[in-house]
Amino acid sequence: MQDFTAISNLRVLAIPRLAAAGRWRVEAMRSLSESCLLWFTKGQGRITVQGQTRGYTAHNVVFIPPGVMHGFDAGPSVFGTAVFFGRNCGLPLPASPQHLRIREVHAQQEINVLLDSITREMSSDVPAHDRATGHYLGLLGVWLERQAARAEPEATRPDASRRLAARYSSLLEKEYRSGLGVSDFAAKLNVTPTHLSRCCKQSCGKPASVLLQDRRIFEAQRLLSETKIPVGHIAASLGFASPAYFTRAFHHMTGKSPTAFRRTG
């Protein structure tokens, strides 16, 4: 029997609303502690997941498991829905990221109906609406599993550059607070810093150093906007050598000092 206790952590949001909360919240490299599904219905852009950048268009679905580093641009012409499953979701969801191009009209209609049903039940106060929400969410997981299985014959094996970028992305997500530099990460991956940066550039358009700084600065922005932790403590927790160096790096990436960002955020 399905456990519906985690449904309260479920969130379904319009993608433009995510971007409206601050473009850094969607564009900068970061990870989540919960699974996320992005269903794009209009517009186009680029999304980076686990060190690989791909274009997305209407009728693309992207599934991102917990702990996977990602970021995407969402301009004013991009519309769609984001589903955040919650930390304690017990659904059998894919263990690896998925980027699926949904070409069949019937499959497009199916996910639209499921998302509408989930949203309707979440906002309802009729009896058993939580159970109905859970069942529809389970059907969404089934839909995703079937679409992923159908897309498997089209999938191409990532080349060596993309595999290395994915390994770097995973290691970076685990150790971005450590203060390690690109040379240290390259040594852990048994490659040279130059080779690592070249592979990252080929895979996602950014060198390894930019991915590292982007991830650290995103976390700094999150802490500045969501907590009252002093700037110096944030700098130390993210492995910056000094508050002054942190301030310079933050200003270079955002155009604002940490204090100004906190005041206006």
Give yes or no: residues 140 and 165 share one domain.
no
Which domain covers residue 218, as residue numbers? 160-264
Q: How far is CA 39 from CA 8, 17, 108, 254, in A?
A: 21, 14, 10, 28
Domain with residue 83: its CATH number is: 2.60.120.280
Query: CA–CA separation, 45 vs 149, rounded Å?
Result: 25
Q: How far is CA 66 from CA 12, 97, 147, in A?
A: 17, 10, 20
Query: CA–CA separation, 72 vs 24, rounded Å?
Result: 10
Query: CA–CA separation, 234 vs 63, rounded Å?
Result: 30
For 77-121, what is each residue's pLDDT tens digit? 999 999 999 988 889 999 999 999 999 999 999 999 999 999 999
Question: What's the domain count of the chain?
Answer: 2
Give yes or no: residues 127 and 35 share one domain.
yes
For 35-48, what is each residue's pLDDT tens digit? 999 999 999 999 99
The stretch 127-153 carries a mean pLDDT of: 93
The stretch 60-81 carries a mean pLDDT of: 96
Query: How many residues would you count in the chain?
Result: 265
For 210-249, what is each residue's pLDDT tens digit? 999 999 999 999 999 999 999 999 999 999 999 999 999 9
pTM of the entire predicted model: 0.91
Query: CA–CA separation, 148 vs 24, rounded Å?
Result: 29
